[in-house]
Structure 1
Amino acid sequence: MGQRLCGEDIVTETARTHAVRQDGPAGLAAGGASDASADKGARRIQSVERALTIIEILAAAPDALALGEVAARAGLNVSTCHHLIATLVERGYVLNAGRNRGYMLSSRLQELTETNARKADLSDFARTDLIGLSGQLGLSVQLAEMQGAALVTRFKANVAETHVIEADEVVKMRAAHATATGKAILAWLPEDQVLKIISENGLQRFTDRTITSLADLTEELRWVRRNGFAVDNEELKTGVVCYGAALRDEKGAVIASISASMPVALATEPCREHVAQEVVGCARKLSDRLRLSRH
């Protein structure tokens, strides 16, 4: 027989653990690919093209360039070029090198590239541990992170026999307040960042257990900080309970979270305690490995 969880055989000899790497919001829009291909080149935003041209010009230049030089190379009048560069400076992509010295690229693009690479690395980095945790518990396990205000699942290790029907990923993206992965991250973010996420997403009700007030969510996040893990107690989907814990990088900052999902029928108190303990242990192990690997 397979491994037993809380007195129930939920993993049989034929059970299979499926690892699924998620590519974030872009992957959810695959249905629109044909439309995008058909419309390719039909609609171009001129200001975006011009801004990208300026970035490419500055990237190719060995030194800072004067405004007039950038305008000439981009084929723009000086006024238009100035407005575009001013926007890029304000957004942190271009630096004003000082009086009479012109403009140059900042490190912002490099930072974005490195951040994106770290995200891909994190999925690969955690893969073996998450598959192991899923097999050990006989439950589906997820890795998620915040991308702006969106909660994005980066990796899943699924066990077919858990009988848990996962919530739609598009719904989960705006449901950080109702998920274990989301609350595990929100609990450690600065207050102003949490408020910004809430202002963009709202506090939508999904079940009669969903937290829908800022006061209740604030108290819930305090609970998460005190206990070291988060709980989705049928808050996103009726009949599904999840336990989540945060992952920290080498600086101690929370960068992602993991969670395990189970049907409420199996969620006895001993089972809940066991799952919470194992999820927290796996999160700590991954955080320790991240810290050591990046020093």
Structure 2
Amino acid sequence: MTVLEALADHERVTDIAEVTGLPKSTVHRILRVLVDHQFALNVGGGRYLGGPRILSLSSKVLGRFEPAYYADAALRKLQQETGYTVHLGLLVGDDVVYVAKVEGSKPYHMPSRVGMSIRPHCTAVGKAALSWTDESQVREMVRRAGMERRTAHTITDEDALVAELRAVRERGYALDMEENENGIICLGAPVFDHAGKAVGGVSISTLTLEPWKQPVEDLAGTVVKVGEEISRSFGAPAATAAVRS
């Protein structure tokens, strides 16, 4: 398995042996087996590439991929650690769609629901994802879909949104200060997929009548860690999943 994983980044037997810590003779033997089963290709000159069997297998896995299932444990842990309502939202076209929700420990429930579409420019999950999206793409999106004013606090200016997204990326987390719903505030962090692309965000929500019980920076650290954990469960490269590094 370590040799198979090393094939994603290395081609030469010497390099694979170095990163796996295995003797070159062992790597040669394993590669021969992988080639026999089409998980590797011998392209000559001591170089190997991932084989077609990897592509077909990954295609099947992605075809059955259920984000909410892979993220469930991390989302529930976040709810238990904070007590707040937790959401996982993914970018779908010009919107964010809630794919998972864990209710908080309070007697009230948030009005959100799984399957609900929301605008990314005024939500913590949306801004967290957009902060890692190319600015030109963000501008194209808001020009195409508009920037609906949901409350008096909603950002409706394109340049102001871009500046906000730069700040979000700088600090690693996004805030929704009654920008989508009056009386509700949220804190979100980005989630990345297997290709290292920001595909959505994870967030915690509370009422303005019951503000954060901890400093925002402390809560943000917790949410960002869960975002990294979910990203890893989605197969994100380690360097991408650790967005704070």
Fold-level match, TM-score > 0.5? Answer: yes
**Larger CA deviation: 226-235 vs 196-205:** 196-205
Matched residue, 2:87: 142
What per-residue deviation string (whole Å, max 9, x for no partner) do you get for residues 190-232 of structure 1? 2232123212321111111110101110110001110001100
Code of the aligned partner of 1:159: G
Code of the aligned partner of 1:163: Y
Is residue 181 from structure 1 mapped to residue 121 from structure 2 by the alignment? no
Q: Distance in 2 between matches of 1:125 and 1:244?
A: 18
Correspondence for 2:102 among 134, 157, 160: 157
Q: Which runs of 5+ in 1 are unaligned?
A: 1-109
Q: Matched residues, percent identical?
A: 27
Aligned length: 183
Q: Distance in 2 between matches of 1:234 and 1:185?
A: 18
Question: 1:161/1:115 Cα in 2 relative to 1: closer, same or farther (>3 Å)?
Answer: farther
Question: 1:151/1:229 Cα in 2 relative to 1: closer, same or farther (>3 Å)?
Answer: same
Bigger Cα Rg = 1
Counterpart secondary structure, 2:155: coil
Question: 1:201/1:292 Cα in 2 relative to 1: closer, same or farther (>3 Å)?
Answer: closer
> In the TM superposition, what are the counterparts of 1:43-62 in structure 2 within 5 Å?
none
Q: Which has the higher helix share?
A: 1
Matched residue, 1:256: 200
Relative to the length of structure 1, the TM-score reads 0.55
Q: Distance in 2 between matches of 1:150 and 1:115?
A: 26
What per-residue deviation string (whole Å, max 9, x for no partner) do you get for residues 147-188 of structure 1? 111211111111262635335778x63521000000011111
Correspondence for 1:243 among 162, 177, 187: 187
Matched residue, 1:229: 173
Question: 1:114/1:144 Cα in 2 relative to 1: closer, same or farther (>3 Å)?
Answer: farther
Q: Distance in 1 between matches of 2:98 and 2:118?
A: 12
Q: Which runs of 5+ in 2 are unaligned?
A: 1-54, 239-245
Q: Distance in 1 between matches of 2:63 and 2:217?
A: 32
Q: Distance in 2 between matches of 1:198 and 1:150?
A: 10
CA shift for structure 1 position 130:
0.3
- Give the aligned CA root-mean-square deviation in angstroms: 3.0
Question: 1:138/1:162 Cα in 2 relative to 1: closer, same or farther (>3 Å)?
Answer: farther
Relative to the length of structure 2, the TM-score reads 0.65
